[in-house]
Amino acid sequence: MQLSSYAASLTPCLPAQADSSDADVVVELFSAVGKIYQLDEKLLSAVTGLSGSGPAYVYVMIEALADGGVRAGLPRDVAQGLAAQTVLGSAKMVLETGRHPGALKDMVTSPGGTTIAGVHELEKAGFRAACINAVVAATQRANELSKPQ
């Protein structure tokens, strides 16, 4: 299995000598297979830290959610399927509605309910900080690797 066959986005880079018509062609071609972000080249390491390394972070989260489901009594295959579908559906909601993830979280979090109990545990464990730190660490490493030896 080639993981690249599951890619939902690509990061093409244009050389300095490319003109606006070259950029238009690249945007037209790659828009057919994913979302295009036109950024300054100095941000490429940040893109790598977030979207290049991000799938691994999401896989760890799916695995952890599935492990929680198993701990709660679900069969492994069911827990993994539910975890993956939960991430897929949540990502689609962010992309399709354009709403801030915090607003979407609030929409599914009832006062005194199960979701806020779980969110509280994530906050106590430093989940949000761990995600931020992972992106920053990967960005810093990308910067290190991009320097001439």
- Mind listing the pLDDT tens digit for each residue in 64-103? 999 999 999 999 999 999 999 999 999 999 999 999 999 9
- Give one word for 115, left, alpha or beta, with left for phi > 0 and alpha for psi -120 to 50: alpha
Q: pLDDT-based confidence at 27, cuts 50/70/90?
A: confident
**What would the two tokens of residue 52 be?**
């290049």
CB atoms within 10 A of CB 67: 14
List helix spans (H) across the chain. Answer: 20-31, 44-47, 54-71, 76-97, 101-107, 114-124, 127-146
| pLDDT digits 0-9 by tens, 98-146 | 999 999 999 999 999 999 999 999 999 999 999 999 999 999 999 999 9
Nearest to 84 by CA among 125, 48, 55, 53: 55
Q: The tokens 């050389």 sit on which residue?
A: 15
Contact call for residues 42 and 139 (beta carbons, < 8 A):
no
Taking the CB of residue 94, how many other CB atoms lie within 10 A of it? 13
